[in-house]
Amino acid sequence: MTDLSNPIPTKPPRSQWLDIWDQFKTHKGALWGGIIFLTIVVLVFLGPFFWSIDATFIDIRARNQGPSLAHPFGTDQLGRDTFARMMAGGRTSVSVGITAMLLALSLGSFIGILAGYFRKLDGILMRLTDLFLALPLLPLLLVMMLLFREPLSASFGPERGIFILIVGAIGITSWMPTARIVRGDVLALKEREFVLAARSIGTTNSKLITRHILPNVLSPIMVSATLGIATAIITESALSFLGLGFPPDFPTWGRLLFDATDYLQQYPERVFWPGIAISLTVLSVNYLGDGLRDALDPRIRGR
């Protein structure tokens, strides 16, 4: 007979987040990508507190110098420290990438959930998504920059106005892939048993979406977030490289790349530093997104 007074101890259920972390660790590229991206973020945001040279300090006597102990990345044509300007430019580029990603993610998730959950809105919102997908991205961005650059600069100042304009332009033109992914997941989720059971007991649509639908579509949203940062950084760099981004005295990686093209033959290393920074950031974020996609997918987790 079984002794009911001494039940066999059972192990507590394993946390789902531990399973996700275990799967994520197996993706070496994602692990290194996360480490590199975190290192870049810490360097560009905390580095200026430990580096004594200001990014805007001009020293004509030290202009066009190569890498040295005093200036690890050399100096530019005005004697400004390239290492300090790389950190200041990275702070701007990463801030634009994260903020534009949050805007695109919020807009795309909102439209995707509405289109997937409410059948009456599906056709209208998806045709709107198709319309935005059909628009040529770069010419649209150029038109937006030319139309709103002066009014926003006059209202918020040249730097803050351009920041708002670039973030808004990238966010408004980048939400469509997220909306399509979220809509597809919501269409499948709203026919699941737990959603039908919640609906049968009179749960309102708003509570159904916030308590049952939204938590189950977080994994594709998080993957879209990582990829959205890379897209936003590349777009901002392209606009700055074309001379339509921030003012010349306000460094970004794209602006540093644009300024260095005039001295490409004499000082080619000036092109390498911002180019390597953009490539490393985008590559690390892409690997991070691949690892999150595999770790958050229950069909792959545990293989």
As a whole number, mean pLDDT of residues 187-201 equals 84
Give pLDDT, residue 62. Answer: 85
Residue 24 lies in a domain: no
Residue 93 lies in a domain: yes
Q: What is the pLDDT of residues 70-128, one digit of tens each?
A: 888 888 888 899 999 999 999 988 999 999 999 999 999 999 999 998 888 989 999 99
Residue 38 lies in a domain: no
Residue 284 lies in a domain: yes
Residue 222 lies in a domain: yes
Q: What is the DSSP string of the chain?
A: ---TTSPPP-PPPPPHHHHHHHHHHH-HHHHHHHHHHHHHHHHHHHHHHH--S-TT---GGGTT--S-SS-TT-B-TT--BHHHHHHHHHHHHHHHHHHHHHHHHHHHHHHHHHHHH-HHHHHHHHHHHHHHHHS-HHHHHHHHHHHHHHHHHHHH-HHHHHHHHHHHHHHHTS-HHHHHHHHHHHHHHTTSHHHHHHHHTT--HHHHIIIIIHHHTHHHHHHHHHHHHHHHHHHHHHHHHTT-SS-TTS--HHHHHHHHGGGTTT-THHHHHHHHHHHHHHHHHHHHHHHHHHHH-TTTTT-
Given pLDDT bands bounded at 50, 70 and 90, which one contains residue 188?
confident
Determine the structural domain holding residue 125 and report its residue range.
88-296
Give the CATH number of the domain where residue 110 resides.
Answer: 1.10.3720.10
Q: What is the pLDDT of residues 127-162, one digit of tens each?
A: 999 998 888 888 888 888 888 888 888 888 888 888
Between 196 and 125, the higher pLDDT residue: 125
Given pLDDT bands bounded at 50, 70 and 90, which one contains residue 226?
confident
Residue 35 lies in a domain: no
The count of domains in the chain is: 1
Given pLDDT bands bounded at 50, 70 and 90, which one contains residue 183?
very high
Residue 66 lies in a domain: no
Residue 49 lies in a domain: no
Average pLDDT, the chain: 84
Give pLDDT, residue 299. Answer: 54
Given pLDDT bands bounded at 50, 70 and 90, which one contains residue 46?
very high
